[in-house]
Amino acid sequence: EEESDEKEDIFRDQANAPDYGSYGKLKDSDFPQAFSHFTYEQSKKNLIVVDLQGVFEVSGDGTKSYRFTDPVIHKRTHKKAGQMRRWSFGRTDRHEKGMQAFFHTHER
């Protein structure tokens, strides 16, 4: 039941989006940044997956997909003890500065 609640929240958020119903206007090249933004929102603004490089593929039946490689994850720094504080994403994790850099260039 918890999973269905999450799905309802996502759809509710879409209904409140400024350009609701305009998703058909998205270009294939918009999806990597949209996915990065999605990871930020779904993690309750605790982390973001960025620097998505890879291959865009169209299968024989017309299904489109991305195969991403070498992502960078930036996580929010927490002063309190907890799960997010213990996670480490390596030397490319720029924490809040990395998140700010993404949103500086991301079109909402």
Residue 89 confidence class, pLDDT cut points 50, 70, 90: confident
Residue 65 sits at φ, ψ, to 5 deg, of: -155, 160
75 burial via Cβ count (<10 Å: 0-12, 13-18, 19+): buried
Nearest to 50 by CA among 85, 13, 98: 98
Which residues have a Cβ under 8 Å from the Cβ of 55 and sit 6 or more positions away? Answer: 66, 67
pLDDT score, position 16: 53
Question: What CATH superfamily is the domain 25-105?
Answer: MHCK/EF2 kinase (3.20.200.10)
- pLDDT, one tens digit per residue, over 12-60 is 555 555 555 556 677 888 889 999 999 999 999 999 999 999 999 999 9
